[in-house]
């Protein structure tokens, strides 16, 4: 009986604690912001070359006093912990802090942290809260009073830093796989291709099977498309999943050296992509045409490989991934003994991304 009574008391205490915590959290969430912090890269850095990080701090509510801001860098980067102090940042003002840093080595997935400390402008926050005339205003003010006198803020910059292509924000225009089986003599790496690291082979197979079944059902039941739309099912998204799945399966077959299978899978991808508007899934279309070209190249069919690479380029000449297609064209030309065309392809690719370190080195080599 005593144990049961104690459990009831504990349950009641836990409920009240959670309720109180939720109430305090709600009041805290409504407190006006007193600072704003952001950080960006000034350019596209590379290993062993200095680059600036621009950290922007704004005083939103009240003055910020005794500001100390610093960067948190990966191990081995220089300087280890760059920092700067500021006596006061007036309310409404913004200060941009500039830090010059240097990367020590490639990192495929990491971040630069930026944090600051400053005295919390509690008086200004209290005045701001009172001016808002909220029913919970006094509770919000008491919550601010319980804060530490020294406040902190944090933001970061996610990045990828590769020896071949430098440092850039993480995005869909990263082709980080090189096929050195096709590397021409004198070049540092083979041609580039895109490999989706998120979708597994098993998931890709399921996506293809499910979409095939969906297509059969849509043919058998013309009203199904509207029913699915009313239910919130996006058929276009399912189509995109299938296209991505085809590319995943084709890439896997290519890496295993099964080039006829690659071409077969890419034919299915191409047939399905023709159902889409021309401007849809453009990154995927380019990656697929590039993969078909590499499969032809691997089979010794240089002419068809060149045609496919040029077709990939003309699908959208300004797309950032075209730097890879142009480089691949250049490598193919070197393989054919046409260094003049290769130089032009490299030049065009470098115009798209001057910090493409690998390409710059290869371009310099064939100019000798």
Q: What are 37-42's contacts with CB under 8 Å, separation 24+?
A: 37/114, 37/116, 37/153, 37/154, 37/155, 38/155, 39/112, 39/114, 39/155, 39/156, 39/157, 40/157, 41/157, 41/159, 41/167, 41/169, 42/98
Q: Tell me, yes or no, whether 95 lies in a domain.
A: yes
Q: Domain check: are 186 and 143 in the same one?
A: no
Q: Tell me, yes or no, whether 27 lies in a domain.
A: no
Band of residue 15 on the pLDDT scale cut at 50, 70, 90: very low
Q: Domain check: are 74 and 193 in the same one?
A: no
CATH number of the structural domain spanning residue 279 = 1.25.40.10
Distance CA 165, CA 176 (A): 9
Residue 129, classified by CB atoms within 10 Å of its CB into exposed (0-12), middle (13-18) or buried (19+), is: buried
What is the separation, in whole angstroms, between the first and last Cα of the chain? 92
Last residue of a domain, one of 97, 129, 162: 162
25-48, pLDDT tens digit by residue? 344 567 899 999 999 999 888 888
Q: Is the pLDDT reported for residue 239 higher than 90?
A: no
pLDDT number for residue 19: 41
Distance CA 187, CA 359 (A): 9
Q: Domain check: are 131 and 275 in the same one?
A: no
Q: Tell me, yes or no, whether 10 lies in a domain.
A: no
Q: Domain check: are 98 and 234 in the same one?
A: no
Using only the alpha carbons of the chain, give its radius of gyration: 29
Count up the domains in the chain and report the number: 2
Last residue of a domain, one of 104, 136, 162: 162
Q: Domain check: are 354 and 212 in the same one?
A: yes
Containing structural domain, residue 134: 32-162
User: What pTM, to 2 d.p., does this model score?
Assistant: 0.74
Tell me which of 171-175, 257-261, 353-357 is least confident: 171-175
Q: Domain check: are 124 and 206 in the same one?
A: no
Q: Domain check: are 123 and 193 in the same one?
A: no
Q: Domain check: are 80 and 191 in the same one?
A: no
How many other CB atoms are there within 10 angstroms of residue 164's CB atom?
Answer: 15
Q: Domain check: are 292 and 207 in the same one?
A: yes
Distance CA 4, CA 10 (A): 10
Q: Is the pLDDT reported for residue 234 higher than 80?
A: no
Q: Tell me, yes or no, whether 23 lies in a domain.
A: no
pLDDT number for residue 16: 41
Q: Is the pLDDT reported for residue 73 higher than 90?
A: yes
Stretch 96-111: mean pLDDT: 91
Last residue of a domain, one of 116, 138, 162: 162
Q: Tell me, yes or no, whether 332 lies in a domain.
A: yes
CA angle 34, 37, 43 (to 5 degrees): 165
């Amino acid at each position: 009986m005593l144990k049961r009574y104690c459990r009831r008391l504990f349950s009641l205490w836990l409920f009240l604690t959670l309720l109180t915590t939720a109430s305090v959290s709600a009041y805290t969430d409504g407190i006006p912001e007193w600072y704003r912090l952001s950080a960006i890269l000034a350019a596209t850095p590379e290993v062993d070359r200095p680059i600036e990080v621009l950290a922007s701090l704004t005083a939103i509510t009240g003055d910020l006093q005794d500001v100390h801001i610093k960067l948190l860098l990966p191990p081995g980067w220089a300087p280890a912990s760059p920092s700067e102090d500021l006596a006061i940042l007036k309310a409404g003002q913004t200060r941009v802090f500039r830090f010059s840093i240097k990367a020590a080595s490639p990192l495929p997935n990491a971040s630069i942290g930026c944090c600051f400390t400053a005295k919390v402008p509690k008086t200004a926050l209290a005045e701001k809260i009172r001016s808002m005339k909220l029913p919970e205003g006094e509770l919000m003010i008491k919550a601010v009073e319980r804060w530490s006198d020294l406040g902190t803020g944090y933001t970061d910059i996610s990045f990828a830093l590769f020896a071949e292509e430098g440092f850039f924000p993480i995005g869909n225009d990263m082709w980080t796989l090189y096929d050195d089986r096709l590397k021409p003599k004198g070049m540092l790496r083979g041609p580039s291709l895109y490999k989706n690291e998120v979708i597994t082979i098993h998931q890709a197979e399921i996506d293809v099977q499910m979409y095939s079944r969906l297509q059969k059902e849509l043919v058998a039941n013309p009203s199904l498309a509207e029913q699915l739309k009313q239910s919130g099912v996006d058929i276009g998204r399912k189509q995109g999943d299938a296209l991505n799945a085809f590319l995943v399966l084709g890439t896997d077959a290519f890496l295993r050296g099964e080039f006829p299978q690659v071409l077969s899978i890419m034919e299915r991808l191409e047939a399905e992509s023709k159902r889409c508007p021309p401007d849809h899934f453009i990154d995927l279309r380019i990656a697929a045409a590039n993969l078909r070209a590499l499969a032809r190249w691997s089979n010794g069919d240089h002419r068809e490989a060149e045609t496919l690479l040029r077709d990939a380029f003309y699908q959208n000449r300004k797309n950032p991934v075209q730097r890879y297609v142009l480089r691949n064209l250049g490598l193919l030309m070197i393989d054919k003994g046409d260094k003049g065309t290769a130089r032009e392809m490299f030049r065009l690719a470098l115009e798209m991304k001057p910090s493409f370190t690998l390409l710059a080195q290869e371009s310099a080599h064939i100019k000798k």
